[in-house]
Amino acid sequence: MTDPGVRPEALGLPRPSGVVFDCDGLLLDTEPCWTVAETAVFATRGLPYGPEQKALFIGRSVPGSVELMASIFGEQGNEEAILAQLLDAIGDVIATSAEPMPGALELVELLSGRLPIGVASNSPRFVLDAALGRAGLRDAFGAVVAADEVPVPKPAPDLYLSACRLLGVPAVGAVALEDTATGTAAAHAAGLRVIGVPSPEAGELGADWLLPALDDPRLLAWASSL
């Protein structure tokens, strides 16, 4: 990995046309919140929810998670009720418990005003608004796109294409920040390059540039140089 003291322009990431962030697990540490909500939904059916179950849900959109739950529960056709139960639980937990990831607020502040920045999230709008509001970031971005506002969520490219369109920048030439393989696939499909900051459960991302955290000195130096 490149030495932290290296000049930002030597890191192989040219000035992008814009930067688009994922939200859950990238800007905010919401994954524990989702775990609490998912555990509650499983518990109402007398089912355990541990690491094995959690691994099945990492990176999935909310509709995808609900479909999987319906299959696990043997409740196909009851997706609407499962969705309502899950969203009711997650909204409360995020609004009171989600915290910004290390370096997230500093990185957003550094990039703000230097180039267009946005968010492309696999969460529905009200969950995304709750998360950004909790972090004080609701008005920090030129475009914020939620999963229920595009035809197909990640790993399809729709979210990133929509965010870039709203920012007025070409997707090819923009950079995404992602923490999951699902999000990385979506960004690459849209033509963006990807800075990967993997969550512990994410596994291999396939990102163009991999860093351990948003507060990595190399990333902050790169942002400061734009």
Rg (CA), the chain: 17
CA-wise closest residue to 217 among 29, 17, 26, 6: 6
Type and span of the H or E element at 119: strand 117-120
Please tell me which residue in 22, 29, 158, 179 is annotated as part of the active site.
22
Contacts with 6 (C-beta within 8 Å, 6 or more apart), sequence order = 218
Q: How far is residue 137's CA from residue 104's CA, in Å, rounded to a whole number?
A: 10
What is the longest distance spanned by two Cα atoms in the chain? Answer: 56
Active site residue 22: yes
Active site residue 92: no
Please tell me which residue in 24, 158, 179, 216 is annotated as part of the active site.
24
Q: Which residue has the tokens 């734009």?
A: 226
Residues belonging to the active site: 22, 24
